A and B are shown apart, each in its own frame.
Chain A
């Protein structure tokens, strides 16, 4: 099983450029999340979605946009890249519910983005 797939794995952008980070999952999960991970800072939630057509802001949404037109895909858009957006980006999904023995996030392998 593929699980959560992120593309690209690496990308270098110039200041002011735009790009879309792709995320797709094949587990039919309703919930999907975008995180950024900075060294020594843990993970910060950018946006999340509870189902197709429904998205909401996380802790650090400024400079990003998302859409969720299908259950499988949850792309993250950077419109005007800034050096502060240099980070590792992780997409994650979960099925939903609060059965502790089953509930967890499934993560992709990440996209390392540098904005120069």
Chain B
């Protein structure tokens, strides 16, 4: 019940295209869902996050879509750029858990020029 399943493992998208990464969770007590971006040799950095009281959150070219009934959430990257090439992690936690995040396995995204 503590798992967060992320797909796909890897993704190749043409420059200007839409990148979509999906995550599913089992624990209905989770109420905080961030996405982190990691470049090689660096630690992850927060990209965008959502709470389950909204179904969508947009920041620039990045959008989280959240489906509470299906227990799924996804990251959409519009107009994907080569600089977006990185590994993306979804995660989930309970607000009162001292930010103990349960992480997905990661998606390696490559944007082809």
State the A residues within 8 Å of B (CB): 4, 31, 33, 40-45, 48, 50, 56, 58, 90, 92, 94, 98, 100, 103-105, 107-110
Contact = CB atoms under 8 A, between A and B. Distances in A.
Given A41-B105, A100-B49, A100-B51, A31 B43 contact: no
A58 B103 contact: no
A105 B105 contact: no
Interface of B: 4, 6, 9, 32, 34, 36, 41-46, 49, 51, 89, 95, 98-101, 103-106
B43 A107 contact: yes
B46 A58 contact: no
A42 to B, nearest CB: 4
Nearest to A43: B103
Nearest to B98: A50
What 7 pairs across the A-B complex have the smallest Cβ distances?
A107-B43, A42-B103, A104-B46, A43-B103, A42-B105, A90-B43, A98-B95
B106 A42 contact: yes
Contacts of B101: 43, 45, 105
B44 A105 contact: yes
A58 B43 contact: no
Contacts, number: 58
Contacts of B104: 42
Contact of A31 (B45, B99, B105): B99
B41 A44 contact: no
A109 B43 contact: yes
A73 to B, nearest CB: 18
Contact of B106 (A40, A45, A92): A40
Contacts of A103: 49, 99
A101 B99 CA distance: 15
A109 B4 CA distance: 24
12 contacts: A43-B44, A43-B103, A50-B98, A90-B44, A92-B43, A94-B99, A98-B95, A103-B99, A105-B101, A108-B43, A109-B41, A110-B42
